[in-house]
Structure formats: structure tokens, C-alpha cells
Copies of this chain bind each other. A is one copy, B any other.
Amino acid sequence: MSFNTFGKLFRFTTWGESHGPAIGCVIDGCPPNVAITEKEIQIELNKRKPGQSKFTTQRKEDDKVNILSGIFKGKTTGTPISMIIYNKDMRSRDYETIRNKFRPGHADYTYFKKYGIRDYRGGGRQSARETAARVAAGALAKKVLETKIGKKYKVVGAVTQLGILGCNIKKWNDKFILKNSLFCPDKSMLKIWQKYLLNIRKAGSSCGAIIEIRAKGVPVGLGAPIYSKLDMDLASAMMSINAVKGVNIGSGMNSAQLTGEQNSDEIYQYKNKTNFKSNNAGGILGGISTGQDIIVSFAVKPTSSILSSRKTIDKFGKNTSISVKGRHDPCVGIRAVPIGEAMMNCVLLDHYLMNIAQCKN
């Protein structure tokens, strides 16, 4: 049982508050002899860090990672890897005005009721700042899997719906996604999305999003019945990301409307390779990977910090109202893309190691 640890064999524990001195993670169970550098970790962290475009919060953070243990002469040693990121831009005064009020949609109320105490500075532990630590863990997981499986292993995420605007998923283009600050996979929608989002920001409002994460090159056999199913752990992983309210595997919620004939992913053998005619299953059957792409999508609710005044109560139980100014993302879903990728990498490595332990010994 572990409140702040994720994973079974490849485990990471995160710690730190939004406005404390630092945040970080400790990774346990990483295989030895994998080459890894701070720079490789930094590349993934840079995808997530704030203040990079006008579409995200203007909080300025380097998110510079330091590795404190577990690496010797550039390689993992099998011992725990401790990584730390110092917080820089901590304008705690911003939060003094809301120290006694519960922001609707945030975890202010529930944290206070559960613990009887809360670090209100920027949300403290409940802040999405925690996700930087797991992106660092995910960068390591990615490197381990690339080392074990090879370069055919690849995880890419994108925003597939921005508020009320969808996109043509068939136009998904890995390279284009990495080049635009909205992680939009469909070139034809980018400008429309940008305009839409700027209007939301100007209005002091916010919107939700749907993010899709795809993993290629995943071997058949990862996952385990009944309560360590790969899709259970992926659903759990994505639901752990701040503001996520729904998770789909493959056709997901839409599966309900399909007939058995439509949903069935027929199988055929071609040139000594097993293929599937479709992928409604999202690459997972019975909780175990099929060898197809793993496809997970999840919905991120709109940022709860908005300009317009909302009714709420304070910690003394008195009715009041609140309007949150500060520096917020108009759509937190955008920065959820590298986080979703990180979680995918971590879950897959965890199951990769579990499969070896149980079935390849």
C-alpha cells in the first residue's frame, strides 16, 4: 500500500509541493546497466514545463533535473534513482487571499476535510506540479524499454479534442505533433484550435480536452489476469493525472454501441506474422497485450481556476464566493500529453518486467 508510489516492479515515488523548496522522485526496481543521462530526462521534462507558449501558464520554471543516486559512470546500477527539481518561481503571496477559501473543482475542500490541514500555497501537494516528477520517471522508463525492445518501441501522445473542437484522427502525424505547442495531430485544425484557445484565455475561462496516447512495438503478452490487467493499470495510471475524469482503451465508451460483429477484431496470419483487421480492443485482450498498438485516451476536465466568480464556502463553513486570478493554463489537457506518455512508458516497463518474472524465467 503506497499513497505516493506507482508501479509494481518498476516503482516510482514522488514527493514535493507546488511551493515547497523542491519536488522529486525516487525510482526503485530499474534494471541495471542501462545508459541514461540527465539530458535525456530533461528532454521529456521540457515538453511538460510551463511558460513555453501563450497557451499555458506563465509560471516560469526551468524544471532542471538533478540525479542524486543510482547512476554510476553513466549507467543505472540497479539501486534507487533519486531525482530532484528545485522550485524557482514560487510567488506564494498570490495564494494568501485564498488560504481560507475552497476553490470549486479543486481538491481544497477534500484535502482539508481529510487531513485537517493543508498547504494552500498553489495547491501544495494537489498541484499538477507533482507531474514533473513522474515525467522524469517516465523518461527513464522509456529509455529502459528502448534499450530492451529497440527503437521500434515508441510512445506518442496528442490532443484529439480541444473543448468542443475535434480533429480528424486519421490525419495523425507524429512529427507534426511534436512541432506544435498544442500537441495537435491534425495540421488542418491547428490554427482553429489556437484561435479558440486564445479566446478562452482572454475570457478568463477554460476548456477540457481529450488526449490519446499510442504505444507501438509493444510485445504480445504484457499484462496479467485478473487484477493486474494491463488495461487496469493504464486506466489507473491515466486517472492519477490531475483533472482526468474518463479513460478509454481502444474504442472505449463507444464499444457499447457496437455489435459483436463490428467490434470483433478478426485475426489472420500473413508471412509468419499475426495480424488483426481492426483494433477496437486498443491492443489489449483479457488484460494482455496483443502485439497491436496500445491505444489509450482520456478526458481532462476544464481548468477549475477561472476568472468568473463562483459560489463556495470557507474553512469555517461560511458561504462566500471566489474568483481565481493567478497564472493558469486555459486548458490543462495540453500539458497532460507528456504526462500521459510518461505514465504509458512506466506501466509498460512495469508489465514488461512482470512478464519476464512470471513467464520468461
Count this chain's copies in the assembly: 4
Q: How far is the CA of A281 from the CA of B245 in the complex (A)?
A: 8
The reply on A24 being an interface residue by CB < 8 A is yes
Contact A269 B319 (CB under 8 A): yes
A220 with B110: in contact, given A246-B253, A303-B260 (CB under 8 Å)? yes
Q: Which of A114, A130, A252 is most buried by chain B, counting CB atoms within 10 A of its CB?
A: A114
Within 8 A of B (CB), among A221-265: 221, 223-229, 231-233, 235-236, 238-240, 242, 245-265
Give chain B nearest CB distance to A13 CB in angstroms.
5
Interface-facing stretch out of A46-54, A173-181, A183-191, A202-210: A202-210
Contact A245 B253 (CB under 8 A): yes
- Provide 17 A-B residue pairs closer than 8 Å at the C-beta atoms, listed in order of the A residue: A16-B80, A17-B69, A24-B68, A32-B117, A72-B117, A77-B124, A78-B115, A105-B260, A110-B290, A113-B291, A115-B359, A126-B225, A130-B226, A148-B361, A235-B235, A246-B247, A260-B304
Interface-facing stretch out of A36-44, A56-64, A350-358: A350-358
- Interface residues as binary, A163-180 with B (CB distance below 8 Å gives 1, 0 otherwise): 110000000000000000
Contact B240 A245 (CB under 8 A): no
Contact A317 B272 (CB under 8 A): yes
Contact B245 A107 (CB under 8 A): no
B-chain residues with CB within 8 Å of residue A274 when the two chains form the complex: 109, 313, 317
The reply on A70 being an interface residue by CB < 8 A is yes
Q: How far is the CA of A284 from the CA of B245 in the complex (A)?
A: 10
Q: How far is the CA of A311 from the CA of B210 in the complex (A)?
A: 33
Partner of A261, one of B117, B205, B227, B235: B205
Contact B257 A246 (CB under 8 A): no
The reply on A280 being an interface residue by CB < 8 A is yes
Partner of A246, one of B22, B242, B252, B285: B252
Contact A289 B110 (CB under 8 A): yes
The reply on A325 being an interface residue by CB < 8 A is no
Q: How far is the CA of A317 from the CA of B284 in the complex (A)?
A: 19
Contact B288 A111 (CB under 8 A): yes
Which residue of B is nearest A207, CB measured?
Answer: B259
Q: How far is the CA of A70 from the CA of B229 in the complex (A)?
A: 18
B-chain residues with CB within 8 Å of residue A90 when the two chains form the complex: none
**Closest 4 CB pairs between A and B?**
A107-B286, A246-B252, A357-B357, A206-B260
Contact A354 B255 (CB under 8 A): no
Q: How far is the CA of A268 from the CA of B224 in the complex (A)?
A: 44
Q: How far is the CA of A115 from the CA of B78 in the complex (A)?
A: 7
Q: Which of A8, A14, A31, A263 is most buried by chain B, counting CB atoms within 10 A of its CB?
A: A263
Contact A281 B105 (CB under 8 A): yes
Within 8 A of B (CB), among A324-344: 333
The reply on A154 being an interface residue by CB < 8 A is no
